[in-house]
Amino acid sequence: MNGVKQKLIGKVYLVGAGPGDPGLLTLKGLEVLKKADVVIYDRLVSSEVISLIPKKSKKIYSGKGAGDAEKLQRRINRIMVEEAKTGKDVVRLKGGDPFVFGRGGEETQYLKKRGVVFEVVPGITSAFAAPAYAGIPVTHRNFASSVAVITGTEGIDGRTSVNWRKIGSSIDTIVVLMGVSNLQKIIRYISSSGKSLRTDVAIIEWGTTRRQRVVSGTLSNIIEKARKSNVKAPAVIIVGKVVSLGRELAWFKPKNR
């Protein structure tokens, strides 16, 4: 080819976009994003982060809707491989961290089996960032020495590996992602584990963004408070004594941003 060495195959970067605040995108994530030929981005990637994608890059939206997750995931897998095999560098941009309930492990397995080179760029997960922006430390020497991050979409029907009652009885701070639609069952399971019904609970909508809102209560009343406040996804649920610190340590003023 006239002495010019052509690039035969590209690389796929699984990049964590963070929880929403564009300032929480890592330097490595921004560096990779700036050189991307193709960017496949999720529904939870904030508009501010999306605006950082170069105009030259091909943008592909991959937000999942109810009932079509598996079909869309197969499409995403196919696109990643097809674009990389034409010599393009592909960024798979995911809200939060790609390896925290983001199917990053599944996607890297798919790429590995098909001989596509990949790299993972971790991101800041909303499991820890949203509580931090609400003034809630997930661990504290006087309140909590253990923390668990749980998906709110499993274990609800009793047929999967999440043992809600065991988690409730053995973990100090419980952080639940993607749990709003199953809030009633989750709270009832945790309540039946032996935790006091006076245990503090907070639900943080759109954590770290201008839309952040915190609804607080206890195991005994959070379901009703969430209903009255019309809590919607995306939201992070935190259960434990550390939640009480949010009243003292809250620092983030979303409306002032």
Out of 59, 64, 185, 241, which one is annotated catalytic?
64
Q: What is the DSSP letter of 17?
A: -
DSSP 140: B
User: Is 178 an active-site residue?
Assistant: yes
Cβ distance 77 to 107 under 8 Å? yes
Q: Specify whether 157 is catalytic.
A: no
**Comparing C-alpha atoms, which of 136, 114, 116 is closest to residue 236?**
136
Identified catalytic residue from 21, 42, 89, 200: 42
Q: What are phi and psi of 39, to 5 degrees?
A: -125, 120
**Is-catalytic flag, 11?**
no
Given 178, 185, 225, 241, the catalytic residue: 178
Identify whether the C-beta of residue 121 lies closer than 8 Å to the C-beta of residue 15.
yes
The three-point CA angle 14-122-252 to 5° equals 125
200: helix, strand or coil:
strand
Q: How many Å apart are CA 127 and CA 39, to the nearest integer?
A: 24
Catalytic annotation, residues: 42, 64, 178
